[in-house]
Amino acid sequence: GCHEGQGFLFSGDITPLLRASRLADSAGGWRESLTWALRAAAIAPFAAAPMHRIYGALEGSARPDLLVELANLLISRNLHLHREK
């Protein structure tokens, strides 16, 4: 996580933050993964990749209420998640 955070600070690219989210998902669980995904989304709110990571983190959370809340937020903003290729 820290290395990826430094990678973002060095480059300004959110890719290291998304990588930190994926790594945290397997190492620290969905909460840590969500933290990194939310950082990326805050920096690049119109990018699709952070929203996919947020969804992925919440999907593994066993908290359907959070998935519903995310879906309602996206619907209210007329945003749609498309399957990543």
Q: Record the pTM.
A: 0.77
By residue count, the chain amounts to 85
The angle that helices 15-27 and 30-43 make with each other, rounded to 10 degrees, is: 170
In 3D space, the residue among 69, 75, 20 whose CA is nearest the CA of residue 43 turns out to be 20
pLDDT 10s digits, 26-63: 887 899 999 999 999 999 988 889 989 999 999 989 89
13-23 per-position pLDDT tens digit: 898 899 999 99
Residue 29: Cβ within 10 Å count:
13
